[in-house]
């Protein structure tokens, strides 16, 4: 099936995939070729795209997923390929945000904690 993962400013993946695994508010789910058409809300977390030669992993903020049998499209607020995640930068930013009570900072802190976990797990 054809898979495209994109944010507002970047196409992160555009190619053939055998399976896409993402996280919704109800938990992790997988899409394979021939899946029934659906639209899903995505929670922040790992998106795994199983391509022919390898598996690509992305740390993504919330978004949506739409599938139409032979295509799956993911539109996310933002995402980073796991190979671009710098744990030093993530740790430094988390330290800056540690004491903040601002709602936006809390959301960023939560997302950065997810990014760190994804890097440690898929690395």
Q: Where are the domains of the chain?
A: 2-81, 84-122
Cα distances (angstroms) measured from residue 45 to each of 36, 98, 116, 119, 123? 23, 20, 11, 11, 14
Percent of the chain with pLDDT over 90: 82
pLDDT, average across residues 64-86 = 95
Outline where 44-85 has alpha helix (H). none
- With bands split at pLDDT 50, 70 and 90, how would you rate the model's confidence at 103? confident
Residue 75 has pLDDT above 90, yes or no: yes
CA distance 23 to 60: 10
Mean pLDDT for the chain? Answer: 93
- DSSP secondary structure letter of residue 34: T
Task: State the Cα–Cα distance between residues 120 and 90, nearest whole angstrom.
Answer: 12
pLDDT score for 98: 82
| Arithmetic mean of pLDDT, 28-45 | 94
- Report the CATH superfamily, name and number, of domain 2-81: F0F1 ATP synthase delta/epsilon subunit, N-terminal (2.60.15.10)
Instruction: Return all residues near 41 (Cβ < 8 A) that are at least 6 apart.
Output: 24, 25, 62, 63, 64
- Model pLDDT, residue 123: 82
Q: What percentage of the chain has pLDDT greater than the value 70?
A: 100
Residue 6 pLDDT exceeds 90: yes
Question: What is the pLDDT, as a whole number, of residue 74?
Answer: 98
Q: What is the pTM assigned to this prediction?
A: 0.91
């Amino acid at each position: 099936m054809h898979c495209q993962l994109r944010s507002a400013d970047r196409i992160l993946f555009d190619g053939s995939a055998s399976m896409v695994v993402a996280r919704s508010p109800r938990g992790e789910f997988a899409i394979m070729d021939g899946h029934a058409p659906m639209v899903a809300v995505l929670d922040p977390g790992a998106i795994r795209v199983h391509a022919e030669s390898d598996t690509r992993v992305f740390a993504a903020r919330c978004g949506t997923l739409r599938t139409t049998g032979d295509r799956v499209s993911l539109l996310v607020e933002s995402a980073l390929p796991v190979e671009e995640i710098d744990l030093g930068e993530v740790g430094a930013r988390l330290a800056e945000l540690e004491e903040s009570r601002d709602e936006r900072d809390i959301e960023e802190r939560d997302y950065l904690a997810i990014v760190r976990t994804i890097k440690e797990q898929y690395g």
